[in-house]
Amino acid sequence: MLVSAEEMLKKAKAGHYAVGQFNINNLEWTKSILLTAQEMKSPVILGVSEGAGKYMCGFKTVAAMVDAMVDSLGITVPVALHLDHGTYEGAKACIEAGFSSIMFDGSSLPIEENVEKTKELVATCKEKGISLEAEVGSIGGEEDGVVGAGECADPEECDRVAKLGVTMLAAGIGNIHGKYPDNWAGLSFETLDAIQQKTGDMPLVLHGGTGIPDDMIKKAIDLGVSKINVNTECQWAFQKATREYIMAGKDLEGKGFDPRKLLAPGAEAIKETVKEKIKLFGSDGKA
Ligand code: 13P
C-alpha cells in the first residue's frame, strides 16, 4: 500500500536524517528503487514529474503500476508515490489517480497566487490523507520542461507557506536540477538556517540532489533538510552501464539483444546509486 510521506518525514526530521526521493521513468527504474529501499530497510519516495507521467501513459497507469509492484515484490518499507513539480491541474489529476503525495510547484506564480492555490490543495490533501509539498524560491536549471532561475527563497515567505498546513517545504537555496556548473557557488546555508529558524519542525526539501558534495548534503540535513530529490544521477548511472554493455558488443552475443538483458546492467547500476544515496542520507534501517 502506498503511504503519505508525512510520517516518514516527521521521523526523519526528528531523527536528523533524510528520505530520498528518486524519480522514476519506467518499470525498470521503479523496480530497482523499490528493491533497493527494501534491501536497505529504508522508507522511500518515488517521484514522478508531469513529463514522466505522460511518458508512462498517464498518472493512473503509474499509480496502478507502483501499487501493484509494491504488492507483488513484497515491499514492506513505507513507499510514497509523489508528484514532482506539479502544476495545479497536475496535482488534481494525481490526487484523482491515487498518488499518496503531491508537490504543487507554485514558485513561478506571484506569492499571493501560490498561497491561494496551495491553501486549496492543503484542504483537499488533508481530507484524503495525502502529503503536500510546496515550493518557495526556485530551483535553478531545467527538469522536464520546468525551468527555474534559482533564486534563494525568502524565509518570511517560507514561514507563510509553511503555516498553510503543508507537509513539507521545498525552498530554493542555490540548488540546481541536473549538473552543477564548475563555478557553482554552493548551497546557501545562511538561507537554509534562516528558513529552518522560521519554520521550526517543518521538514525541508532539497531538490537537485545530483552532484551535491557529501559534506554539503550532511550539513543540509543538520540544518533541517528531511527529503532529498535525486533524478539525474540515476539517469547517468543507467546510461553509463547501458553504453558499456553495447560498446562491449554484448548486445550482439547470443541473446544479448533481449530487452531483459539489454536493460539489466542499467537497472543494476541504478540500484548502486540509490544504495549510496540512502546510506549518505542516513535513512537505512529506519523503516
Ligand atoms: P537532480 O536531477 O539534479 O538530481 O534533481 C532532482 C530533483 O530535484 C527532482 O525534483
pLDDT tens-digit map of 23-51? 999 999 999 999 999 999 999 999 999 99
Q: Which of 67, 71, 84, 214 is catalytic?
A: 84
Q: Which residues pair with 206 in a beta bridge?
A: 228
- Nearest CA among 199, 196, 206 for reference residue 175: 206
Any atom of ligand 1 within 6 Å of the Cβ of 51: no
Please write the tens of the pLDDT for every residue from 153-171: 999 999 999 999 999 999 9
Q: Is 210 in the pocket of ligand 1 (CB under 6 A)?
A: yes
**Higher pLDDT among residues 152 and 129, named by residue:** 129
Query: Is residue 140's pLDDT more than 80?
Result: no
Q: What is the pLDDT of residue 137?
A: 81
CA angle 221, 184, 171 (to 5 degrees): 40
Helix orientation angle between 111-128 and 88-97, rounded to the nearest 10 degrees: 10
Ligand 1 pocket test, candidate residues 22, 147, 168, 232, most atoms within 8 A of CB: 232
Task: From residue 181, give the alpha-carbon distance in Å to each of 48, 158, 267.
Answer: 25, 27, 27
Q: What percent of the chain shows pLDDT beyond 70? A: 97
In the reported structure, the alpha carbon of residue 248 is separated from the centroid of ligand 1 by a whole-number distance in angstroms of: 30
Burial of 236 (0-12, 13-18, 19+ CB in 10 A): middle
pLDDT at position 108 is 85
Mean local confidence (pLDDT), 1-12: 97
- Measured CA to CA in angstroms, residue 162 lies from 119, 170, 172, 182 at distances of 10, 10, 14, 33
Of ligand 1's listed atoms, the one at least distance from the Cα of 179 is 3
Q: At 220, is the secondary structure helix, strand, or coil?
A: helix
Task: Please state the rounded mean pLDDT for residues 112-135.
Answer: 95
pLDDT for residue 148 is more than 70: no
Calculate the alpha carbon distances from 188 to 41, 63, 205, 216, 220 in Å.
31, 35, 14, 10, 9
CA–centroid distance, residue 51 to ligand 1 (Å): 14
- 135 Cβ inside 6 Å of ligand 1: no
pLDDT of 13: 97
| Cα distance between residue 144 and residue 152, in whole Å | 21
H helix or E strand, kind and range, residue 136:
strand 131-136
Q: Band the pLDDT of 111: cuts 50, 70, 90.
A: confident
> Is ligand 1 within 6 A of the CB of residue 24?
no
Give the mean pLDDT of the chain: 95
Whether 209 is in the pocket of ligand 1, judged by its Cβ within 6 Å, is yes
Angle at alpha carbon of residue 157, lines to 44 and 112, rounded to 5°: 105
Is pLDDT above 80 for 146?
A: no
Question: Is pLDDT above 70 for 199?
Answer: yes
pLDDT at 271 over 80: yes
pLDDT at 55 over 90: yes
pLDDT at residue 149, as a whole number: 62
148-157, 231-240, 274-283, range with the lowest pLDDT: 148-157
Would you say the CB of residue 229 lies under 6 angstroms from ligand 1?
yes
Angle, to 10 degrees, between the axis of helix 264-281 and the axis of helix 232-247? 150
**What spacing in Å lies between the alpha carbon of 187 and ligand 1's midpoint?**
15
Is residue 242 predicted with pLDDT exceeding 80?
A: yes
84: annotated active-site residue: yes
Which has the closest alpha carbon to 62: 45, 77, 83, 79?
83
Question: Where residue 151 falls among pLDDT bands split at 50, 70, 90?
Answer: confident
The average pLDDT across 178-201 equals 94
**Which residue puts its alpha carbon closest to atom 1 of ligand 1?**
208
Of 19-28, 86-95, 130-139, 230-239, give the lowest mean pLDDT range: 130-139
Which three cell numbers mark 63? 499509480
CA of 254 to the centre of ligand 1 (A): 37
CA of 229 to the centre of ligand 1 (A): 5
Distance CA 86, CA 27 (A): 21
pLDDT at 144 over 80: no
Does the pLDDT of residue 147 top 80, yes or no? no
Q: Is the minimum distance from the CB of 133 to ligand 1 under 6 angstroms?
A: no
